[in-house]
Amino acid sequence: MTPGELLTAALRYAELGYRVFPCAPGNSTPLTDHGFLDATTEVEQIERWWGQHPTANVAIATAGLLVVDLDPAEGNAANPWLKDDPDKRLDLAAAPTAMTPRGGRHHVFRKPAGKGWRCTASRLAPKVDTRTDGGYIIVPPSWRPDGAYSWVPGLELDGPPDRLPEPPPWLVALLDSLAQETPTLAHVAAGGGQANPIPEGQRNATLARLGGNMRRVGMTLAEIAAALLQTNKDRCFPPLSPREVERIAASVARYEPDQIATAMAEGHWDQLMQVQAPQLAPVSLADLTARYPDLRRPVIHGLLRQGETMNVISAPKIGKSWLVTDLALAVATGRPWLDTFACEAGDVLIIDNELHGETSANRIPKVAAARQIGLGDVGGHVFVQNLRGHWQDIFSLGPYFRALEPGRFRVIILDAMYRFMPREMDENDNGTMANVYNAIDRYADLLGCCFVLIHHTSKGNQSGKAITDVGAGAGSQSRATDTHLVLRPHEEDDVVVLEAAVRSWPPVLPRCLRWAFPVWTPADDLDPTLLRSERPRRARRAEADADEAEQPEPSWDAERFAAAFVTGTPKTRDAILAEANAAGLSDWKAERLLRRAEGLGLVHRWASGRNRPSAYANVPQPASEDADQ
């Protein structure tokens, strides 16, 4: 194995559609700032990583996958799981399978749609883990001091993710049952002296999870530390240092206990319910309309009102933080944002946990200069709290927010959202994210402000997704917020398409924005329906080389769409979309091209009578037929 082989392998996996990132040579420690969140299929980034770290191990992020990880038994003997059920072992061998240096196996499946499974450790069986959304695996030809990873002959990973087999039904049933359980301290205690060992690589996360469960029910730092020190002694192999365990206990003890969980654990649930019950009472429609005759006061017209929250979502490093800096300056000065969204003037607080103070001090004046805003005009209206190196999650920031004067800030920006997540919480869990957004809503009501949350996209192709499906993590993130604003790459370089789903405003039309460092400006000369396909550039390059002699197929616009799918004979919308699907267009894109063609007068809607769908043709409906209808 040579450094060149590692880069070649990383590029090959990316070409197939697997997102890769580098880990430290000889082990599984990520070399990127955000670990598996930085995984990509972009050739340039991969070449840059391995150019800096030629001997780095290759890791694949397992979002969208289900990897069954069997570690060997004591003495490197074969894992005994399923030893008496050869049919099930054969089911596992139907998937691409890698051998680990210590004799373990990774069976790589495609995760079925709709499954909210999490990574597990020794819950299927001792030394049998699973990796899925929120995890990663090391893949061949990576190495460790005790050997190299390798694919089982005939079971190599040589196809794209959508061609992987799904896990067998019996395994799906097991994982579904685990997904309905929550590991708690009770699970550990129930095992008595037979609790599962905690191996190296899982010790910190497992102890933090156990400590978090204890803190939720009101246990003190001293109680948590004592329990974790005993767990470390009994179950961690090898044990962590006592100082490290005490650090974990102190970290989780910073969180406020969960009121309901504490009440149930301490046996005063009934008292809590009696205290809380009078706070809720139904309101008649007459009283409701009298109490709230108007909507909340606008802050960013068309997007956001006082007390509301807005997600701003895009792929990493696309420029969303620059865009939101521009938004902060627009609110601080009361000028329109992107020449489109009028802003009510007010002070802005940026809480940034990615940038150093020096970077913020350099970046904000650059945007101000590009917008011809003097620092004297905004110096007392934009405030920054840099938290890089001083990590605080959204719950531990409670005292900070409560110390702010209500009404002091019109907008508070959290950049980036993933760094405000508590360590032991999973952004893919709907309940977890509902609690996070509920906390933000409470802060917004307390302070009388709006919150703008910067977040990254889910992995994979974003161009065919609905607006509310764009964004990493649980779907509740788009449902819990009032405005879900996304940026997706346009077919033209240095251009994105801005779209938004809003709750208290009329629909927002998609709009192209062109990047001219350090700001985004409207590009209304471009068609916002032409989103870029996000296949790996290596694959696109190969196709371009193969088709070099051929005339490139023109991109789809409203004129081409109307000419291809709409005739003088009326056709229903569903029939038109079906033909467009056959030509390779998604429903989402075809729908927008149809609407644009209608708006340009290239397509005409024909009425078809009550309870019947409208039809479309490239000629107007005759007046006589229209009158008959």
Secondary structure (DSSP) of 118-157? --EEEEEETTEEEE-TT-EEEETT-EETTEE-EEPTT---
Question: Do 210 and 172 sit in the same domain of this protein?
Answer: no
Q: How many Cα atoms are found within 13 Å in the side-chain-facing hemisphere of 235?
A: 25
Which of residues 478, 499, 522 is at a domain's end? 522
Mean local confidence (pLDDT), 574-591: 84
Average pLDDT, the chain: 84
Which of residues 522, 544, 575 is at a domain's end? 522
Question: Do 166 and 202 sit in the same domain of this protein?
Answer: no
pLDDT given at position 43: 92
In a domain, 451, yes or no: yes
Question: Do 30 and 121 sit in the same domain of this protein?
Answer: yes
State the maximum Cα–Cα separation within the chain, in Å, rounded to a whole number.
87
How would you list the strands of the sheet with 20-23, edge to edge? 20-23, 57-61, 136-139
Mean local confidence (pLDDT), 108-130: 88
Distance from C-alpha of 595 to C-alpha of 602, rounded to nearest angstrom: 10
Beta bridge partners of 383: 349
Does the pLDDT value for residue 9 go beyond 90?
A: yes
Instruction: Decide which of 66 and 34 is more confident.
Output: 66
Question: Do 205 and 310 sit in the same domain of this protein?
Answer: no
In a domain, 534, yes or no: no
Mean pLDDT lowest for which of 50-54, 66-70, 139-143, 580-584?
580-584
In a domain, 291, yes or no: no
Domain count, the chain: 4
Q: Is 307 left (phi over 0), alpha (psi -120 to 50) or beta?
A: left
In a domain, 538, yes or no: no
In a domain, 546, yes or no: no
CATH number at residue 52: 3.30.2250
The model's pTM: 0.49
In a domain, 610, yes or no: yes
pLDDT in tens, 434-483: 888 888 999 999 999 999 999 887 666 666 778 878 877 667 677 889 99
pLDDT given at position 201: 73
Instruction: Decide which of 4 and 332 is more confident.
Output: 332
Q: How many Cα atoms are found within 13 Å in the side-chain-facing hemisphere of 451?
A: 27
Mean pLDDT lowest for which of 129-133, 175-179, 514-518, 562-566?
175-179
Does the pLDDT value for residue 553 go beyond 70?
A: no
Mean local confidence (pLDDT), 47-71: 93
Q: Which residues contact 271 (CB under 8 A, 6 or more apart)?
A: 263
Does the pLDDT value for residue 408 go beyond 80?
A: yes
Which of residues 131, 161, 179 is at a domain's end? 179
Question: Do 320 and 340 sit in the same domain of this protein?
Answer: yes
Question: Do 355 and 457 sit in the same domain of this protein?
Answer: yes
pLDDT in tens, 486-531: 999 999 999 999 999 999 999 999 999 999 999 999 998 899 989 8
Peptide bond into 416 cis (omega under 30): yes
Mean local confidence (pLDDT), 68-81: 80
Does the pLDDT value for residue 82 go beyond 50?
A: yes
User: If residue 516 lies in a helix (H) or strand (E), which one and from where to where?
Assistant: strand 511-516
In a domain, 287, yes or no: no
Question: Do 481 and 572 sit in the same domain of this protein?
Answer: no
Does the pLDDT value for residue 542 go beyond 70?
A: no
- Per DSSP (E only), the strands in 279-389 are 298-300, 304-305, 309-314, 348-352, 382-386
Question: Do 312 and 451 sit in the same domain of this protein?
Answer: yes
CATH number at residue 470: 3.40.50.300
- Comparing C-alpha atoms, which of 415, 363, 425 is closest to residue 388? 415
Domain ranges, residue 239:
189-262+268-274
Question: Do 23 and 94 sit in the same domain of this protein?
Answer: yes
Report in angstroms the alpha-carbon separations of 361 from 219, 325, 365, 432, 590: 42, 12, 7, 34, 44
pLDDT band at 193 (very low <50, low <70, confident <90, very high): very low
Long-range pairs of 187-190 with CB within 8 A, sequence gap ≥ 24: 188/231
pLDDT in tens, 343-369: 999 999 999 998 999 999 999 999 999
pLDDT given at position 587: 75
pLDDT given at position 54: 92
CATH number at residue 606: 1.10.10.10
Is residue 61 a contact partner of residue 19, using CB atoms and an 8 Å limit?
Answer: yes
In terms of average pLDDT, the best of 510-519, 546-555, 605-614 is 510-519
- Comparing C-alpha atoms, which of 472, 454, 438 is closest to residue 39? 472
Residue 491: exposure state from Cβ atoms within 10 A (0-12, 13-18, ≥19): middle
Distance from C-alpha of 65 to C-alpha of 68, rounded to nearest angstrom: 10
Question: Do 163 and 195 sit in the same domain of this protein?
Answer: no
Token duo for residue 585 = 């267009």
Mean local confidence (pLDDT), 395-403: 86
Question: Do 108 and 216 sit in the same domain of this protein?
Answer: no
Calculate what percentage of the chain has a pLDDT beyond 90: 45
pLDDT given at position 95: 93
pLDDT given at position 606: 85
Is residue 108 a contact partner of residue 69, using CB atoms and an 8 Å limit?
Answer: no
In a domain, 539, yes or no: no
Does the pLDDT value for residue 109 go beyond 90?
A: yes
Token duo for residue 427 = 């952004």
pLDDT in tens, 165-190: 999 999 999 998 887 764 444 344 33
Alpha-helical segments (H) within 313-429 = 320-333, 357-370, 375-378, 398-403
Q: What share of the chain is helix, strand, coil (3-state, %, to 5)?
A: 40, 20, 40
pLDDT given at position 187: 44
Question: Do 174 and 204 sit in the same domain of this protein?
Answer: no
pLDDT in tens, 260-274: 555 555 554 444 444
Does the pLDDT value for residue 592 go beyond 60?
A: yes
Task: Please spell the DSSP secondary structure of 77-119, one letter per residue.
Answer: PPP-TTTT-HHHHHHHTTS-EEE-TTS-EEEEEEPPTT-----
Does the pLDDT value for residue 548 go beyond 60?
A: no
